[in-house]
Amino acid sequence: MSDRRTLIQGLVRPLRDFLFPPLCFACERLLGEEEEIVCAPCLAAIRSVSEADSHYQDTLDSLASEGTISGLVAAYYFEAGGPLQTLVHQLKYSGMTSVGSFLGERLGEKVKRELVGLHISCVVPVPLHLSKRRERGYNQSEYICRGMSSVLAAPVMPKMVVRKVYTQTQTMLNSEERKHNVAGAFALRGRRPPMMKNATVLLVDDVVTTGSTMRSCARVLMEGGAKQVIACAVALAM
Ligand SMILES: [Zn+2]
């Protein structure tokens, strides 16, 4: 960082923090010097995923069941009423995209620890349908990808996959209905993009529930020539 930029930041940050004190996005407590986006107690209250957990194994088995997804990296559990739920809501419904980058950095660090030495070709967000994207103004998963990209130094490819079908919200559906709901919902932009050939792709979503969306999306990446698709999620639904 240049001295000039450091100097300007040194002057601007105290003023900004005075006018707009940084608050935790989960509990609205004033953040300390060393904290950003989320306070330490909230971060500590979010349960991390361990690869030894049976819920992690079950989700991985479900994702891998069609042979299109070869791995899963998930950072946290999504618990109703917990701080992560508030953070995901801030990201999805209140336009707080910096929360996405923050969570993406945490997820990227986990990918770095879990997939040591793996060359990652690109990071691809699960796309929203164009009309949903227009309504929200952005795709929350793209911000998670950006955070991951800053840690992993792999490019984000936000337009690689498109969502052709406007699917109804999956929240009230069971696993069979979800599967039917997203079957054939995705397509590659361009039939076989050159950069997909033999690519190792990280496919990214905010919260994974049954994995039907991820599987449907991974299928088009594999059909487009990818070598492997690894599912990455900030959180696993409980
Ligand atoms: Zn907090």
Query: 11 CA to middle of ligand 1, Å?
Result: 26
Query: 26 CA to middle of ligand 1, Å?
Result: 5
Give the three-state DSSP class for 205: strand
Query: 39 CA to middle of ligand 1, Å?
Result: 4
pLDDT of residue 179: 66
Query: 100 CA to middle of ligand 1, Å?
Result: 16
Give the three-state DSSP class for 173: coil
Query: 24 CA to middle of ligand 1, Å?
Result: 5
Give the separation between CA 13 and CA 36, rounded to whole angstroms.
Answer: 13
User: What is the arithmetic mean of pLDDT over 184-211?
Assistant: 89
Query: 99 CA to middle of ligand 1, Å?
Result: 13
Query: 88 CA to middle of ligand 1, Å?
Result: 14
Residues with CB under 5 A from ligand 1 (ion): 24, 26-27, 29, 39, 42
pLDDT of residue 5: 76
User: What is the arithmetic mean of pLDDT over 187-207?
Assistant: 89
Query: 110 CA to middle of ligand 1, Å?
Result: 22
Q: Parse the chain into domains and list their residue ranges.
A: 1-45, 47-237
Higher pLDDT, 184 or 44: 44
Q: Tell which residue, 8, 3, 86, has the closest CA to residue 46.
A: 86
CATH topology of domain 47-237: Rossmann fold (3.40.50)
Query: 186 CA to middle of ligand 1, Å?
Result: 37
pTM of this structure? 0.88
Q: Is residue 1 predicted with pLDDT exceeding 60? A: no
Give the separation between CA 125 and CA 24, rounded to whole angstroms.
Answer: 26
Query: 204 CA to middle of ligand 1, Å?
Result: 25
**Residue 194 vs residues 88, 158, 191: alpha-carbon distances, Å:** 34, 16, 9
Q: What is the pLDDT of residues 132-180, one digit of tens each?
A: 999 999 999 999 999 999 999 999 999 999 998 776 666 666 777 766 6
Query: 83 CA to middle of ligand 1, Å?
Result: 7
3-state helix, strand and coil shares in percent for the chain, rounded to the nearest 5: 45, 20, 35
203, amino acid identity: L
Query: 87 CA to middle of ligand 1, Å?
Result: 10
Query: 102 CA to middle of ligand 1, Å?
Result: 14
User: What is the arithmetic mean of pLDDT over 86-112?
Assistant: 97
pLDDT of residue 37: 96
Query: 38 CA to middle of ligand 1, Å?
Result: 5
Q: What is the pLDDT of residues 77-97, one digit of tens each?
A: 999 999 999 999 999 999 999
Query: 74 CA to middle of ligand 1, Å?
Result: 21
Q: Is residue 17 predicted with pLDDT exceeding 80? A: no
